Chains A and B, each alone.
Chain A
Amino acid sequence: MDSLSDAVAWMAWTWQTVLFFAALAACLAGLTALAVYRPETPHVGVLGFATTRGDRFFVSLLLSAFIFVGFIRFGGQDFTWPGLAALAATALMFRFA
């Protein structure tokens, strides 16, 4: 991790943020590959309008961000809980949206 940190330090990057954005890019690449090789039909769920996998992924990201912001706003310290809540929200989103 130290060599990665050194390689990205000139633009104030850190290995944590590199991993985060790399995971995000991997998810987008995975969704693109799925869209090409396993095309889907959008379906209407709890959100009330037709969603694709991409929509559900984006809403999950937004929800997760709000979960973390809300958790910090009310003084939470242990980030395991909002992390688990974000994962649960994502799972619910992909199942019911």
Chain B
Amino acid sequence: MDSRVWDNRAWLFVVPVMAFVLFSSLIPMMTVVNYSFQDSMGQNSFFWNGPGWFQNLLDPTTAVGARFQGALLRNFAFSFTVLAIEIPLGIAVALCIPKSGWRVGAVLVAIALPLLIPYNVVGTIWQLFSRTDIGLLGVALGRSGVPFNVTQNAGSAWAVIVLMDVWHWTSMVALLCYAGLKAIPDAYYQAARIDGANRWSVFRNIELPKLRKVLVIAMLLRFMGSFMIYTEPFTVTGGGPGEDTSFLSIDLVKMALGQVDLGNAAAYSLVYNLITLTVCWMFFTYTTHADSKDVA
């Protein structure tokens, strides 16, 4: 018999945090919802606009709608490009990390270094690196005859931004995969040796299935990271040339803080938030249910 008293009063300790989150995040977010349904002529006087801003935003034939659709498609293209490179590369790097000995520590520290650099510093490093007058990459490419200019050529700008993200974040995928690989019991490898399995079938039938969970987590984390990216591309290209690297957050900041177009920006951020919230929910659901038997 369980004689403990059923008492949930410890939850009251959460109340101060709840109150703070309400004050710092939830009520300001509700204000965004209010902006999205009203128009203003300044002087903090608002009038009801109904679903007008949302109709404007979601109609690609309007100026704002075209901007939103463009930024959304660019952002999806960026996220999928980055995932398509970082996930396979991260697995490959993880497979090359030594499993034991003094080299493990050295390699892990070296791999983790890019993760420790602040976003704006990463952006500045790559901005300087790709400059055509003083940057090593820009000058080297220019001298070898490759048409490369981040400020004028969309292809160059995209290449630098994708390369920068790969440089910054592949380490995280590799470290997650390495942890997943280390968790595979040796018995699997012994069984594979007895069966005479080659390296490819060990990878295909043992390592890859065992990495499934960490790979889903890595993919969701990298999707969120690249879908909400702001600082790094903003530092390197400022969203240009033209609008070619204006991802959602860059475009949204321009609209909300540059043009003070509150109604459109509020509708924009709510639809953007809906997408990130959905992916967050998938991430949360997967991580909380992946280990339990309740997955059908």
Enumerate chain A interface residues (CB-CB to B < 8 A): 9-14, 16-17, 20-21, 36, 42, 44, 48-50, 55, 58-59, 62, 65-66, 69, 72-73, 75, 79
Decide if A11 touches B51 in the complex (CB within 8 Å): no
A12-B44, A17-B37, A21-B30 are known; give 15 further A-B pairs, CB within 8 A: A9-B46, A11-B34, A13-B30, A14-B37, A14-B48, A16-B37, A21-B33, A36-B8, A44-B294, A48-B295, A55-B285, A62-B278, A69-B54, A69-B271, A75-B59
For the complex formed, measure the closest distance between the CB of A12 and the CB atoms of chain B, giving whole angstroms: 5
For the complex formed, measure the closest distance between the CB of A5 and the CB atoms of chain B, giving whole angstroms: 10
Tell me which residues across on chain A come within 8 A of B274, comparing CB atoms: 62, 65-66, 69
Q: A12 with B54: in contact, given A44-B296, A49-B294, A66-B274 (CB under 8 Å)?
A: no
Give bound CA distance, A62 to B30, whole Å: 16
Tell me which residues across on chain A come within 8 A of B30, comparing CB atoms: 13, 17, 21
Tell me the interface secondary structure of chain A in the complex: helix
Q: A72 with B54: in contact, given A17-B37, A62-B277, A62-B278 (CB under 8 Å)?
A: yes
Decide if B294 touches A14 in the complex (CB within 8 Å): no
For the complex formed, measure the closest distance between the CB of B88 and the CB atoms of chain A, giving whole angstroms: 27
Tell me which residues across on chain A come within 8 A of B81, comparing CB atoms: none
* B258-296 interface bits toward A, Cβ cutoff 8 Å, 1 = contact, 0 = none: 000000000000010010011001000100010010111
Decide if B281 touches A62 in the complex (CB within 8 Å): yes
Give bound CA distance, A66 to B277, whole Å: 12
Give bound CA distance, A20 to B30, whole Å: 10
Decide if B58 touches A13 in the complex (CB within 8 Å): no
Q: A69 with B58: in contact, given A14-B34, A58-B281, A62-B277 (CB under 8 Å)?
A: yes
Give bound CA distance, A36 to B294, whole Å: 23
B54 nearest CB neighbor, chain A only: A72
The one of B48, B55, B295 that contacts A49, using a Cβ cutoff of 8 Å? B295
Give bound CA distance, A62 to B294, whole Å: 22
Give bound CA distance, A66 to B46, whole Å: 27
Give bound CA distance, A20 to B33, whole Å: 10
